[in-house]
Every structure is written in structure tokens, then in C-alpha cells.
Amino acid sequence: MKVFSGQVCGFKILLLVLAMLSISPAGAQECADLVDGPMGRVVDVVDGDTLLLDNGLKVRLIGIQAPKLPLGRMDFETWPLAEDARQALADLALGQTVRVRFGGQRRDRYGRVLGHVFVGDEQVWAQGALVAAGLARVYSFSDNRRCLAPLYRMEAQARAQRAGIWNGIDFYAIRHADRPQQIARRVDQYELVEGRVLHAERVGRRVYLNFGSDWHTDFTVTIEQAALNLFADRGLDPVKLQDALIRVRGWVELRDGPRIAVTHPEQIEVLALP
């Protein structure tokens, strides 16, 4: 099925179809341990990943990041397709009864409910619909890591189909680890970066994944001890990623060159082993 051809359009029908197809039997099993949370009717859609319910709850769709709107923030530039994402979620959920299901931390510091949202009698998975339509990226936290595998599969399919944000928009382009100056221009932005790990080393309670020979200027991934414990829980050793081709996602910092701090294993996708 071709999702988009040029412009983003036909959200309501498209999202419903995608969402109904979004959880395969394997994906449903991966999400089977979600815990039922509150229900409510959606009375407002704030942006592409935030809903207001008639019971007063503000719900942040966990596991994804939709393009952002300013929402009153001074000097904040609207991300490309932000209004399209908001409208798509509104077409899917506004006026509908939804069920929130939990897979980790249930509230954030702003008091928002953090959960997976299932819409209407058909229990359409809102996160899956938006990612499959190319209107959100996978965006996880160390304390909220359920249902990521099917979201990654849908994101990959959306990229292959050049859907939504993946249709040649530089703002969302995957960056190249061997072009650190390009990445450095994206400080304080959430980015996807691909490259081959030139050197992996543990120094004290931290692992460094270096993508160039000059750690003062080249791109680096850092993994602190708390994250290393999560890797160990899954039987993974990030030092063994040396010479592997990987994709990492996270917020770009500038400290001895651009870097991304990894807080949990799901931030790293292994594309090819040496």
C-alpha cells in the first residue's frame, strides 16, 4: 500500500486502516503485558502526541515523538508537519472514547499521564497509526520501554515508503556519524545518527562508542553505568559493538564534539555486525 504521494492527505481513512493493521500477532504479544489504565473521551488534541480527556487528564502518548508545535513557547519554531500530525491525531481520536494502557512510568513531572492509547470500539492503537503514517518517530525512555519493537518495524516501513516526515524533509533526515560538523549543527535536537563504531571502550563506569579517531571533534555515544545495567539485564555488552554498523537516537549535546547519551538499549539499532 502506498501511504503518501507528495502531500500529506486523507488522514482519517488512512490512519484508521494503518492502525487496524498496525499490531501483527507478534506485535500484539510484545504489547500483551500493558496494564489497563483510565478511560475517557477525547475533548481536545493539543499536538500530535498529546490528548485532553473529559475527566481532566492530559495524556502524553508514550513511545513516540510527533512533530512539535510552539504551544506558547517563545522563539520556538514549528517543526515541519506539526499541524498535520495534530490534525491526524484529531481525526483519529477527537470525540472518541479511549483506553490508556501503561507499560512503565505512569506520570511525568508535568502531571501528564504516560501511556499507550487505544481508540474506540476497535481499540485502534494511536501510536502505531501515527508512526505507520510517518507522522511520528519512535522515542523511548529508560522507564518506559514497552511495545517498541512493533513501533520500530512500522517506522522502518514508513521510511521505506517515504511517508510523512520521511519524504525528503531535512529536519528529520538520518545523520551520518562520519559527518560530525553536520551533527554539531543539531545541538539540543532529537536526532537519528547512523555509522560504524570505530572504537568501543569502557572507562570506569562509562562506555564510549567512538565513530572517528579524534574524540575532541568526532561523534561519540556515551553509556553511563545505570544504562549499562539495563544492557547487562538483556545480556548485552555495548563494547562488543566495535566495528558494528548501528543507528542511535537521542538528544545531541556538544561536549568534545557532538555526542548522544544512551540511557537504555532500545536507543541503539544494530544494522550490521562486523
Domain holding 241: CATH number?
Answer: 2.40.50.140
- Tell me what the pLDDT averaged over the chain comes to: 90
Residue 115 binned pLDDT confidence (cut-offs 50, 70, 90): very high
Q: Which of 139, 166, 193 is the last residue of a domain?
A: 166
pLDDT at 4 > cutoff 70: no
Which pTM was predicted?
Answer: 0.90
pLDDT at 8 > cutoff 50: no
Q: Which of 140, 166, 192 is the last residue of a domain?
A: 166
Q: Are 219 and 193 in contact (CB under 8 A)?
A: yes
185 and 267 in a common domain: yes
pLDDT at 11 > cutoff 90: no
Rounded to an integer, the average pLDDT of 258-263 is 98
Q: Is residue 30 part of a domain?
A: yes
Least confident piece of the model among 82-86, 187-191, 205-209, 213-217: 213-217
How do strand 97-102 and strand 113-119 relate by DSSP bridges? antiparallel
Which pLDDT belongs to residue 18? Answer: 56
- What is the domain range of residue 62? 11-166
Instruction: With residue 27 as reference, give the H or E element that holds it.
Output: helix 25-30
Q: Is residue 237 part of a domain?
A: yes
Among the listed residues 261, 240, 243, the one whose alpha carbon sits nearest the alpha carbon of residue 252: 261
Q: What is the pLDDT of residues 120-129, one digit of tens each?
A: 988 899 999 9
Top pLDDT among 6 and 139 is at 139
Which pLDDT belongs to residue 29? Answer: 64
Cα separation of 160 and 146, whole Å? 24
Q: Would you report the helix, strand and coil content of the chain in percent, each value rounded to 5?
A: 30, 35, 40
260 and 124 in a common domain: no
Q: Is residue 1 part of a domain?
A: no
110 and 227 in a common domain: no
130 and 80 in a common domain: yes
Which pLDDT belongs to residue 28? Answer: 59
152 and 67 in a common domain: yes
Q: What is the largest CA-CA distance in the chain?
A: 56
Q: Is residue 2 part of a domain?
A: no
Q: Which of 119, 148, 166 is the last residue of a domain?
A: 166
Please give the tally of structural domains in the chain.
Answer: 2
Residue 33 binned pLDDT confidence (cut-offs 50, 70, 90): confident
56 and 161 in a common domain: yes
Share of the chain above pLDDT 70, in %: 89
206 and 118 in a common domain: no
55 and 133 in a common domain: yes
82 and 27 in a common domain: yes
Which pLDDT belongs to residue 31? Answer: 82
Residue 7 binned pLDDT confidence (cut-offs 50, 70, 90): very low
Q: What is the pLDDT of residues 69-82, one digit of tens each?
A: 998 888 889 999 99
Rounded to an integer, the average pLDDT of 36-51 is 97
Which pLDDT belongs to residue 250? Answer: 98
pLDDT at 13 > cutoff 60: no
